[in-house]
């Protein structure tokens, strides 16, 4: 690649996203993005319109799913826009195409403390029309190589100062700082560091240098240092760069560097936190979640299921409607929709694995048994392999990606669910059977504690992490993002503190 050969002034991907080379029109992907960013605890998204293009059609498609899940009761991210080139004209377009034309989405607009929707741009631009000037709360764009604006909104911190100078905001108003995954701060072209010996701050930068050790990119050292600094400074807002950049235009060469990309070049010199195929997988997404939780904290947790709940294994499943059941978990309705879309290069993406759509899960226990309940959007389909599976992390023994037991990996036998224990990795040995009940869109499993190596008694010795999954691919943890349905998505789990 360093020698050149590909076409100039054309966009290239530095790597392959987990969902393939999708476009921003792919609604199957947009739905998953909303789910993932909501699960991550993101408060608001900022659309990059800095190059005088609004992408309004794509933003409105995303709004469709933000609105859908907000109406389901989820605390979805709200939205704002960031302008730079021709900011007045760009703000005018955004105002007319999005805010004025679609007031039905006003519940998605991220508002500043004065109640006005936030926009990053130049309120003094002579091309700015009166209507958007009065409609928005303007914060000036803070470009990384321009003089500091005290009230600026930084999209990235080039100098990576790690001092209070990288925190912006007027006295008495919310302060903001940027946390980024990597910074092309020395050459302003990541390709220089990727292939020509430059010294930009890659994903692997920490303690003043790029870490060249094998596998350094897996650890997110740069991102971690940025989060540590954010915790020390404690601003009101942390703005993370970024989520799904993936592409950059190949620019004209500079002396000694025939191949030039500015904003991303390879796995080390890029700044996406969205999961990728291979490479670092979903490490940066999980790191994003961890950073947000450290910064914002978590809501107060009630002791879900700490009191034993009496479940009758032979009773009707509406007994799970009892208020005595406190371990209740919700999943996104509608995320089993099938995919049929065209990506970059004309690649046709098709995925029709969506089958049973989990919408609610519950758990309970008594002295002898654990009880798990799943509810789907429509009646549960007929049993098959990898059907309505329950994965459990009991905290001991060999496992597969942290799970020690799996129920319903294989089809039920004689009306009983097959319980298997991992002998290491995706290798399973039958450990016994569990009670299984299905009524319409409800399913219950009854697992003896002794079968899972747990002591009998009114309380569990430690919390149990669990996940429901349906129609996934074997031995592929990332299939919990892409296939069938998983509650919760990806590598996340529910926790039962019985």
Q: Which of 28, 15, 27 is nearest to 351 (CA)?
A: 28
Predicted TM-score (pTM) of the model is: 0.96
What is residue 252's predicted lDDT score, i.e. its pLDDT? 96
State the chain's mean pLDDT as an integer: 95
Specify which residues 45 forms β-bridges with. 79
Q: Which of 108, 97, 88, 100 is nearest to 44 (CA)?
A: 108
Q: Which of 203, 219, 271, 217 is nearest to 242 (CA)?
A: 271
Contacts of 80 (CB under 8 A, 6+ apart): 44, 45, 46, 47, 109, 110, 117, 118, 119, 120
Contacts of 417 (CB under 8 A, 6+ apart): 407, 408, 433, 434, 435, 436, 445
Q: What is the largest CA-CA distance in the chain?
A: 77
- What is the 8-class DSSP label of residue 381? P
Is residue 304 very low, low, confident or very high in pLDDT (cuts 50, 70, 90)? low
Is residue 4 very low, low, confident or very high in pLDDT (cuts 50, 70, 90)? low
Whole-number Å distance between alpha carbons of 308 and 311: 9
What is residue 3's predicted lDDT score, i.e. its pLDDT? 56
Distances (CA, A) of 231 to 14, 45, 154, 222, 287: 31, 21, 17, 15, 14
What is residue 420's predicted lDDT score, i.e. its pLDDT? 98
Are 467 and 10 spatial neighbours (Cβ–Cβ below 8 Å)? no
Range with the lowest mean pLDDT among 118-132, 223-237, 297-311, 320-334? Answer: 297-311
Q: Which residues in the chain are classed under CATH 3.20.20?
A: 11-296
Is residue 396 very low, low, confident or very high in pLDDT (cuts 50, 70, 90)? confident
pLDDT greater than 60 at residue 402: yes
Residue range 364-385: mean pLDDT, rounded: 96
What is residue 300's predicted lDDT score, i.e. its pLDDT? 66
pLDDT greater than 80 at residue 334: yes
Sheet holding 11-13, edge to edge: 11-13, 247-251, 260-261
Is residue 160 very low, low, confident or very high in pLDDT (cuts 50, 70, 90)? low
Sign of CA dihedral 7, 10, 11, 16: negative
Task: Give me 467's structure tokens.
Answer: 């996940």
Is residue 398 very low, low, confident or very high in pLDDT (cuts 50, 70, 90)? confident
Are 182 and 170 spatial neighbours (Cβ–Cβ below 8 Å)? no
Are 19 and 478 spatial neighbours (Cβ–Cβ below 8 Å)? no
Specify which residues 494 forms β-bridges with. 466
pLDDT greater than 80 at residue 299: no
pLDDT tens across 408-427, in order?
Answer: 999 999 999 999 999 999 99
Give the dihedral of Cα atoms 155, 157, 158, 164; nearest 10 deg. Answer: 160
Distances (CA, A) of 187 to 141, 192, 259, 492: 21, 7, 14, 38
Q: Which of 37, 129, 31, 120 is nearest to 89 (CA)?
A: 129
Q: Assign a CATH topology to domain 11-296.
A: TIM Barrel (3.20.20)
What is residue 165's predicted lDDT score, i.e. its pLDDT? 87
Residue range 427-439: mean pLDDT, rounded: 97
Are 160 and 170 spatial neighbours (Cβ–Cβ below 8 Å)? no
């Amino acid at each position: 690649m360093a020698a050149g050969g590909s076409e100039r002034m054309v966009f290239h991907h530095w790597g392959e996203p987990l969902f393939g080379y999708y476009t921003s029109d792919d609604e199957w992907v947009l739905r998953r993005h909303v789910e993932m960013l909501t699960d991550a605890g993101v408060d608001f998204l900022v659309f990059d319109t800095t190059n005088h293009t609004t992408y309004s059609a794509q933003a409105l498609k995303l709004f469709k799913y933000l609105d859908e899940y907000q109406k389901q009761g989820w605390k979805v991210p709200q939205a704002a826009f960031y302008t730079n080139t021709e900011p007045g004209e760009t703000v005018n377009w955004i105002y007319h195409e999005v805010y004025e034309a679609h007031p039905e989405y006003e519940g998605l607009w991220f508002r500043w403390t004065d109640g006005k929707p936030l926009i990053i741009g130049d309120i003094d631009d002579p091309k700015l029309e009166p209507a958007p000037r009065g409609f928005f709360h303007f914060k000036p764009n803070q470009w990384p190589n321009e003089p500091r604006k005290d009230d600026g909104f930084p999209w990235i911190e080039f100098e990576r100062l790690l001092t209070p100078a990288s925190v912006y905001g007027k006295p008495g108003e919310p302060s903001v700082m940027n946390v980024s995954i990597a910074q092309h701060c020395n050459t302003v072209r990541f390709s220089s560091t990727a292939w020509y010996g430059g010294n930009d701050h890659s994903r692997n930068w920490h303690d003043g240098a790029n870490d060249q050790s094998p596998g350094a990119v897996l650890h997110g050292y740069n991102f971690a240092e940025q989060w540590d600094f954010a915790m020390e400074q404690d601003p009101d807002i942390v703005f993370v760069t970024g989520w799904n950049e993936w592409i950059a235009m190949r620019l004209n060469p500079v002396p000694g560097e025939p191949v030039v990309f500015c904003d991303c070049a390879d796995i080390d010199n890029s700044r996406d936190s969205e999961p990728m195929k291979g490479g670092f997988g979903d490490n940066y997404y999980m790191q994003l979640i961890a950073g947000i939780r450290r910064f914002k904290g978590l809501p107060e947790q009630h002791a879900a299921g700490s009191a034993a709940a009496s479940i009758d294994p032979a009773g009707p499943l509406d007994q799970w409607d009892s208020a005595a059941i406190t371990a209740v978990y919700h999943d996104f309705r509608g995320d089993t929709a099938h995919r049929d879309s065209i990506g970059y290069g004309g690649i046709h993406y098709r995925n029709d694995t969506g089958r049973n759509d989990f919408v609610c899960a519950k758990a309970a226990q008594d002295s002898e048994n654990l009880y798990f309940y799943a509810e789907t959007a429509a009646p549960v389909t007929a049993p098959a392999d990898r059907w309505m599976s329950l994965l459990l992390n009991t905290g001991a023994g060999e496992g597969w990606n942290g799970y020690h037991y799996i129920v319903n990996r294989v089809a039920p036998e004689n009306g009983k669910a097959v319980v298997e224990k991992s002998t290491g990795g995706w290798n399973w040995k039958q450990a016994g059977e569990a009670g299984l009940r299905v009524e319409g869109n409800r399913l219950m499993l009854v697992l003896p504690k002794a079968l899972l190596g747990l002591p009998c008694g009114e309380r569990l010795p430690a919390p149990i992490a669990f996940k429901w999954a349906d129609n996934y691919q074997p031995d592929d943890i990332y299939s919990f993002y892409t296939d069938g349905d998983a509650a919760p998505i990806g590598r996340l789990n529910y926790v039962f503190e019985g």
